[in-house]
Structure 1
Amino acid sequence: MTISPTAPEVTTAPLLSAQDLHVTFPGRHGGPRARAVDGVDLDIRPGEIVALVGESGCGKTTLARCLLGLVEPTSGRVTFDGRPLEYSGRPLKAYRKRVQLVLQDPSGSLNPRHTVYDAVAEGLRIHGYGGDERTAVAGALSRAGLRPPERFFLRYPHELSGGQRQRVVIAGALVLEPELLVADEPVASLDASVRGEILALLLRLRTELGLSALVVTHDLGLAWNIADRVAVMYLGRIVETGAVEQVLTAPRHPYTQALLSVLPEAPGTPVVLTGEPPDPSRVPSGCRFHARCQILASGEAERTGVADACRNQDLKVLSGGGASQVACHWAVAEVPERGAGL
């Protein structure tokens, strides 16, 4: 199912912005610290849907948790609506009302002992909502596509289908009238027949409510169907970003090319990456992807004259804006007029 999102104007000031963000965790048994997020700039504008794409362990979930205020950055900062995010007290509580999380597993995120009504109303009660709770819950369920909402009030999660449970989770986020949703693999646990319905719902909410969204996923097909812009993450850093059509139809970074090559509809032979999966406690020198890079392994980087740079010269952090950018010595050497992306 192909859905055509309507992108916002690129001149709009960011709603959420990460600037030179780093998150490290203590190493095992006193070893080197794990650099889960290792220098990230990322902007999300009002009404924009950004897909954050990468394999497991690349740091995308840690980045999302940091943007939500669940993890405090080691360095760098997050700003929302022009103001730096505070990680304690009332400001953080107020922020979490404006930025809501949608988890990938509705069965795990819904309390089996709570009715649908209580699950959706929980956020209102936490934040001391002073209006008509029943009306707010009914409105959120209706916007999430569960109609008539009263029919679902007294149901329990086990009485619902997977798609209905995910809609309840989305309703629980919508009831607080947020400005931004962070959706972590929002359709990963759903049947293929339901995935398109949930993606269409997220797009409709963007159109009707002006919601922004960060969609965290390893699924490039999902990014194609829902996002305005895509950011490809590898070993703690964004290595390619730009409009979704541009990045996914003409990928410039070898890692993006490898991810796309294994899609069922991709032409040619899938790229099999060599080497070990990335270890955030041992980030290699030079390009962090060079140990697994098919361009370097094939000799193409040597022929282009960038092999030494790939192994030894670090790349700058990509800016958080909407311009097409790539952090790759070979890609810039191949298309020098686009070198400003570094």
Structure 2
Amino acid sequence: MTTPAPALLSARGLHVSFPGRNGDPVARAVDGVELDIRTGETVALVGESGCGKTTLARSLLGLVRPTSGSIRFDGKQLDHSSRALKAYRRRVQLVLQDPSGSLNPRHTVYEAVAEGLRIHGTDGDERDAVAAALSRAGLRPPERFFLRYPHELSGGQRQRVVIAGALVLEPELLVADEPVASLDASVRGEILALLLRLRTELGLASLIVTHDLGLAWNIADRVAVMYLGRIVETGPVEEVLTAPKHPYTQALLSVLPDAPGDPVILTGEAPDPSRIPTGCRFRARCPVLASGEADRAGVAGACRTEDPAVLGAGPEPGVACHWARPRVSG
């Protein structure tokens, strides 16, 4: 059995909390996360809106300071001083969901891509670096796009400019927050193919934040399913998405167009990070508990009173579910 490569980015015991307003309870947006991303690996972080995945991504980028826990990059603890974060963000770049909102409408494509070089004061020829980044992002010949403005481009071209702006600094890790959510279906495949090609050609690691399990299937090596601030299932993408163990993952997959059987409609209130229940955090919406299946399996009491342990960060599959764990070990 081969030993997995050391993590490029790792989180251990990560918590991010925000104070409530007017005496409201503290919101535990990230509530104990262990996560590794290795060089050249693409990890998809999936879950509903409000589950904490964007806060987790922002914390890994150094944009939100953790309440507790640790983040390490290339073996070193993340330093939140301004100087250290500037150096860190050259190696770890963010690609946002909405390219129209990411690009200054008054800046040309050249200025948008060159901005990172100017901020970080890199050596070398700026024009050559901008041209190379645009070319890698699929905008060829790059010089044809230098003097264009965002409104003169299609949605797919704008997203490629955003990706080129990240690539120009030659990062080791991309964090992409819903990178194709705002694009037409005809363009989504092109951008996904581009991200896959960048992994192959440049050895880039990626964290893809998405609510779309179909996207995760097409692009990721591993998937981490997040619910109410915590990763509840993780493992190789083929294993998790073809044989999901956690009832939440099963429900997410059941509504995909090609999913077998009837969709599982989750009842109850949407997750609220200021009111995390005792026991399993999914229990109020869990169809296994509601149907009596957890009672028949003898785990209903644990579901209501015992918080499943935080999943480890390793590459092996894991599930934080009292009902699923006996079935996995058996």
TM norm structure 1: 0.95
Deviation at 1:131, TM superposition (A): 1.2
Deviation string 1:85-114 (CA, Å, 9 cap, x unpaired) is: 011121111000000000010000000000
Q: Which residue of 1 aligns with 2:195?
A: 202
Q: Say whether residues 1:27 and 2:34 are aligned partners.
A: no
Give 1:258's aligned residue: 251
Alignment of 1:90-169 (within 5 A): 90-169=83-162
| Partner Cα distance (1:304, 1:212) in 2 | 40
Q: What do residues 112-166 of structure 1 show as CA deviations (whole Å, max 9, x unaligned)?
A: 0000000000000000122100000000000000000000000000000000000
- Following superposition, the deviation at residue 10 of structure 1 comes to 6.5
How much does 1:336 deviate?
A: 2.7
Is 2:89 the partner of 1:88?
no
3-state secondary structure, aligned to 1:28: coil
**Aligned AA (2:132):** G
Counterpart residue type for residue 334 of structure 1? R
Are residues 142 and 10 of structure 1, via their aligned partners in 2, closer, same or farther at CA, if it must alter by over 3 Å?
A: farther
Where does residue 178 of structure 2 map in the other structure?
185
Aligned residues: 329
1:10 & 1:316 partners in 2: Cα distance? 24
Match of 2:5 in 1: 12
Q: Is the 8 A contact 1:304 1:333 kept in 2?
A: no
Q: Distance in 1 between the 2:49 and 2:313 partners?
A: 22
**1:69-84, aligned counterparts within 5 Å?**
69-84=62-77
Equivalents in 2 of 1:87, 1:55: separation in Å? 29
3-state SS of 1:21 partner: strand
Measured in 2, the distance between the counterparts of 1:22 and 1:53 equals 18
Cα distance in structure 2, aligned partners of 1:137 and 1:168? 10
Distance 2:225 2:62 in 1: 22
Counterparts of 2:316 and 2:172, CA distance in 1: 23
Alignment equivalent of 1:308, drawn from 301, 325, 330:
301
SS of 2:36 mapped into structure 1: strand
SS at match of 1:32: coil
2: distance between equivalents of 1:295 and 1:114?
Answer: 53
Deviation at 1:30, TM superposition (A): 1.6
Q: CA deviation at 1:333?
A: 2.2
Give 1:31 deviation, angstroms: 1.4
In the alignment, which residue of structure 1 is the partner of 2:323? 330
Residue number among 12, 15, 32 corresponding to 1:39 in the alignment: 32
Counterpart position of 1:6: none
| Runs of 4+ in structure 1 over 4 Å off | none
Counterpart amino acid of 2:322? H
Q: Which residue of 2 aligns with 1:225?
A: 218
Do the aligned partners of 1:10 and 1:322 also contact (CA within 8 Å) in 2?
A: no
Aligned-pair distance for 1:334? Answer: 2.3
Give the whole-Å Cα distance in 1 for the aligned partners of 2:97 and 2:314: 27
Contact kept, 8 Å, 1:115 with 1:155, in 2: the verdict is yes
Is the Cα–Cα contact under 8 Å of residues 140 and 171 in structure 1 kept in the other structure?
yes
Task: Give, in whole Å, the separation in 2 of the partners of 1:332 and 1:282.
Answer: 25
Residues 54-103 of structure 1: per-residue CA shift (max 9 Å, x gap)? 00000000000000000000000100000000111211110000000000
Show structure 2 runs of 5+ residues with no match.
none
Q: Give the aligned CA root-mean-square deviation in angstroms.
A: 0.8
User: Which stretch shifts more, 24-33 or 143-152?
Assistant: 24-33
Q: Provide the TM-score with structure 2 as the length reference.
A: 0.99
Distance in 1 (CA, whole Å) between partners of 2:54 and 2:7 is: 21
In 1, Cα distance between equivalents of 2:308 and 2:250 = 19
**Paired residue for 1:214?**
207
* 1:54 paired to 2:42: no
| SS state at 2:22 partner | helix
Unaligned runs of 5+ in 1: 1-8, 338-342
Alignment of 1:239 onto 2:232? yes
Deviates more, 1:97-106 or 1:315-324: 315-324
